[in-house]
Structure 1
């Protein structure tokens, strides 16, 4: 299975400019516009019906369909299926492979630092976890603890949380970057220097009122948590 991030855009040049400014690299592919930070691969989709979510590629999804249809509504698309987990995040299931020619880098190279997967808030975390497990993701954590991480065979991690746990803006879905308490201020300084708008500067996690975590968004609305831990 191949997995990637799927972000919409109303102006492709605006989204490309955003990612290039953050030092993502554009991948050569005839099947769309893809960028990467060395770890995450993002498809920027200018189709007016596109929505923020995840795209998963596999030769055939027939085996998973019976259980998925018991967990959520499933819509047929031209090349596969469309569904969501209980968070409402769209999950595109594509039948067939993607000839992207991308190998993950040893270290991420974008301004944003260390990529740690997606973060979602779900009103029904148990059902969300069941959807991702049915799609072939391995799970750690426990819905009973209010948090679970689901990881695909190619390394995409989806972190799912109960509502009312995160004291800041939360865009479903959001990409998450963890840079440590010493390095994250440097990352935030670079983001500011590049003129990337900060949606929220978070001071909740320290007692000195210092902005030590920030949230940004791409032009299509995908969130980015730039956190110290």
Structure 2
């Protein structure tokens, strides 16, 4: 299985400029794919496109048979569509992508250390069941606690129950954890004149903005956190 994050856009040039400014590299023209070495995103200007996750495999027939009792499955031109309880659209594509999704050891964009996708789910147990059927395994936390991470082929998804995060949350969001270097990264993002959606002081006793959230032109969220 290979994975890709889809972001819609009403303003294609603005989306291209957003990712280019942040140091992402274009790795495919059709479809339009940008990567920071670890996170790969398809910028989709189709008016019916929605933010979501695209998973590629030769055939999803076995998984579809297991998903049908718990999720509404919609046929697409290249596979299947469903949504998990977070509302995130999941595209199951039959066949391999027509481009190289090789991941590098480290992220190279301005955003720092990419850690994976974050989701808030109204039914964490059902979200776990769906991603488990798709081949993900529990990597951290527990379903009962309402906070856990799952991985498949190096692609990581963290799932949280409602009312877990005291800041804006966009499903899905890419998460970057940068430790003590986060302040330098925030300064660099400001210098690039990337609009900041939320400045977060909640976790800092001195009221310093040490975490931020940004969004791309299509509404995809980015958590730039110090862990």
- Whether the TM-score (by the shorter chain) exceeds 0.5 is yes
The answer (yes or no) to whether the contact 1:29–1:100 under 8 Å persists in 2 is no
Aligned to 2:61, the other structure's residue is in SS state coil
Q: 1:209 aligns with which of 182, 193, 207?
A: 207
Question: Larger deviation: 60-69 or 17-26?
Answer: 60-69
The answer (yes or no) to whether the contact 1:55–1:94 under 8 Å persists in 2 is yes
Question: Larger deviation: 48-57 or 97-106?
Answer: 97-106
Unaligned runs of 5+ in 1: none
Q: 2:220 aligns with which of 219, 222, 229?
A: 222
Look up the match of 1:101. Answer: 100
Q: 1:83, 1:149 → 2: CA distance?
A: 20
Look up the match of 1:125. Answer: 124
Confirm or deny that 1:110 pairs with 2:113: no
Look up the match of 2:145. Answer: 145
Q: 1:63, 1:148 → 2: CA distance?
A: 25
Deviation by residue 1:121-165 (Cα, 9 ceiling, x = unmatched): 001000001000000111132111111111112x11010001001
Aligned to 1:70, the other structure's residue is in SS state coil
Q: 1:225, 1:56 → 2: CA distance?
A: 22
Q: Shift of the alpha carbon at 1:29? A: 4.8
Unaligned runs of 5+ in 2: none
The answer (yes or no) to whether the contact 1:29–1:99 under 8 Å persists in 2 is no
CA RMSD of aligned residues (A): 0.9
Q: 1:33, 1:116 → 2: CA distance?
A: 22
Moved segments of 4+, more than 2 Å: none
Q: 1:151, 1:157 → 2: CA distance?
A: 4
The answer (yes or no) to whether the contact 1:125–1:162 under 8 Å persists in 2 is yes
Q: 1:175, 1:87 → 2: CA distance?
A: 15
Look up the match of 2:164. Answer: 165
Aligned to 1:63, the other structure's residue is in SS state helix
Look up the match of 1:175. Answer: 174
Deviation by residue 1:8-37 (Cα, 9 ceiling, x = unmatched): 01121110100000000000354x000000
Superposition TM-score, scaled by structure 1 size: 0.96
The answer (yes or no) to whether the contact 2:15–2:216 under 8 Å persists in 1 is yes
Q: 1:150, 1:49 → 2: CA distance?
A: 28
Q: Shift of the alpha carbon at 1:176? A: 0.2
CA change 1:116–1:17 in 2 (3 A) is same
Count of residue pairs the alignment pairs up: 226
Confirm or deny that 1:75 pairs with 2:74: yes
Alignment of 1:56-67 (within 5 A): 56-67=55-66
Q: 1:49, 1:133 → 2: CA distance?
A: 28
Q: Shift of the alpha carbon at 1:227? A: 0.2
